[in-house]
Amino acid sequence: MEAHKMQKNSHEKDHVHTEGDGHDHDHSHDNTDKTVFQMFLPAIISLVLLLLGVALDNYIPTEWFKGWVRIVWYGAAYIPVGIPVLKEAFESITKGDVFSEFFLMGIATVGAFAIGQYPEGVAVMLFYAVGEVFQTMAVSRARGNIKSLLDQRPDEVTVMENNQPKTIKAKEAKIGDTIQLKPGEKLALDGELISDSASFNTAALTGESKPDTKNKNEAVLAGMINMNGIALVKITTAYEDSKLSKILEMVQNATSQKAPTELFIRKFAKIYTPIVVILAILICLLPYFFVSDYQFRDWLYRALVFLVISCPCALVISIPLGYFGGIGAASRNGILFKGSNFLDSIAEIKNVVMDKTGTMTEGVFKVQEVSITSEFNKDEILQMVNTLESKSTHPVATAIHEYVGNINHSIPLEDMEEIAGHGLKATVNGKELLVGNFKLMDKFNINYDLNPAHIVYTIIAIAYDKKFAGYITIADSIKADAKETVDKLHKMNVKATMLSGDKSTVVKFVAEQLGIDNAFGDLLPEDKVNKVKEIKAKNQTVAFVGDGVNDAPVVALSDVGIAMGGLGSDATIETADVVIQDDKPSKIPMAINIGKQTKKIVWQNIILAFVVKGIVLILGAGGLATMWEAVFADVGVALLAILNAVRIQRMNF
């Protein structure tokens, strides 16, 4: 499952790895810091000289605009746009990549000059340069969402030392330090709130603009902005391990995971370009043996037209840009894809298998009923249960703690053990204490005189000194957008299945309320894995959505693993392919829709490029297309494809 694991990169990198922005020729757009005017300036100079030259050629006949003057004039028009491309072509050749798009453009335009077609040589390079500027602008726009994410992490923090504020580098802050956060300041590390309450803007992490009020001892995450009043936060996580650092790392690595279509186009371009060059040479030379009035100049012109048309830049630009736009659009909506390959995979999903607690329900439990047998002292049993549950991170433990109150640390807990899918076991005063589900009671041969199936709520069974001591019932509320999520999935012809370690009656009750197709409860982690294997055995694609540590194996097994990133455990977030930052299940159908729209745009671009190029190539080889048609087939198609790819960033999902 290595493909599902996040590649660990240095956290120090504050730039996005775009692998040359999708170009096959390491063509990085290092001019994104320039203004739009600076980017277009060489093209403007070239265009003015070209238009003046064409006017002097055709509309203002003059004696002096001939011979070497005309060559120098068009040469001057060519230089601003042509030299950077020829330089790139030379650099590509020195790196061993001879057949780059720059090489194709270079020989086509230099060849046009060689046969006296100066205006056309300039025009081809000019349009190509304009296309490159538009591409750079499109890429930097797509990158904008991601760069704004990378800017979310402050470099400095104000820590309290001897009740005095001191500004230090965020990386130097240690776990246990207290950060002072003024209104409008952004939190740099994960921690817990020491102040009684504070209001935070969480848009950087969740895409949600609504303020989130946190109370004392609640977790607050890096990237949150303090809205009003000074807040004090105790650091609980190292700088490089914060949720935000992990999110940034995912985004930085996202563009290195290529979609199959993208990888195919790269391989295709490497084979296609040399074939095109060979065909161009044959178009130029072969007719000599078959045509009676063979003119080398005419056939060279046709070969050069053929070269310009066949340049694959529309594909090598627009396809990565489409995927890049998809990743950017998703991140703007609080959905993080760890690679463009997962945009492709999620578009094909036919089954969404989901966990219940924390995914479709709030994961915030409240105690409904406490039933302790008369043989035991209710307060003593609850104090022991509260102390044992304090060692667990499960939401059930929080509910019990809220109900019982402060933990009695004087209770001597020994040999504490968590039994996966069952519950907790410990020794108290030399006697065995068991707290968990009824499978735990069965495992340790504890007799009880009730039928758990008759109780709808989640039941926490308790046994002490080998005897059944009673139970606590706990209920969880369904998330507001859970029903809407299932309805949207059904509209997309995607089946919804719920798998949970919770008792079957609870799982079935929740599933019925939401309209979920299949629901299974009382499952251990390995049972969830087996259920997903059953669906995959029918050759059906599966996305699994979960948030707990025990969901990591099944997230890794599924075609697309989706983690709830707000409440989710770090193990599940690292194993997942897609992370939903705000824990809203309605983002699941949104993620599928973004995948589908991205794939649609990518295939529109592939078909557009091949159809237009195919038609103009045939016309060019037959001498019916000039350099101007060639320019449209190359740069025109590339521009149309770029504009189409950029559409995804404007869509509302």
* Active-site position among 24, 177, 212, 355: 355
Kindly give the residue spans of alpha helices, DSSP state H, lying in 160-242.
Answer: 203-206
| C-alpha closest to that of 214 among 190, 237, 241 | 190
Q: Is residue 397 part of a domain?
A: yes
Residue 185 belongs to domain with CATH number:
2.70.150.10
Sequence-ordered list of residues with C-beta below 8 angstroms from that of 105, at least 6 positions apart, any chain: 85, 89, 124, 125, 128, 308, 311
| Domain final residue, candidates 477, 501, 532 | 477
Q: What is the pLDDT of residue 300?
A: 87
Domain-located, residue 290? no
**Domain end (from 428, 452, 477):** 477
- Structural domain count of the chain: 2
Residue 169 lies in a domain: no
Mark which of 238, 270, 294 sits at the end of a domain. Answer: 238
In a domain, 308, yes or no: no
Q: Determine whether 355 is an active site residue.
A: yes
Over 90: is that where the pLDDT of 148 sits? no
Mean per-residue pLDDT of the chain: 82
SS3 130: helix
- Going across the sheet that includes 178-181, the strands are 164-169, 156-161, 178-181, 231-235, 191-193, 219-220
Inside any domain, residue 416: yes
Lowest mean pLDDT among 46-60, 151-165, 397-411, 518-532: 151-165
CATH number at residue 389: 3.40.1110.10
- Residue 278 domain-assigned? no
Residue type, 236: T
Is residue 425 included in any domain, yes or no?
yes
Whether 381 is covered by a domain: the verdict is yes
For residue range 182-221, what is the model confidence (pLDDT) as tens digits?
A: 888 888 888 999 998 888 877 656 555 556 788 888 888 8
What's the rounded Cα separation, in Å, for the pair 215 and 348?
42
Crossing angle of helices 587-621 and 296-310, in 10° steps, is 180
User: The pTM is what?
Assistant: 0.68
Q: In the predicted model, is pLDDT for residue 588 greater than 90?
A: yes
What SS3 class is residue 624? coil
The pLDDT tens digits of the residues spanning 92-125 come to: 889 887 777 788 788 888 888 888 888 888 988 8
**Structural domain that includes position 445:** 363-477
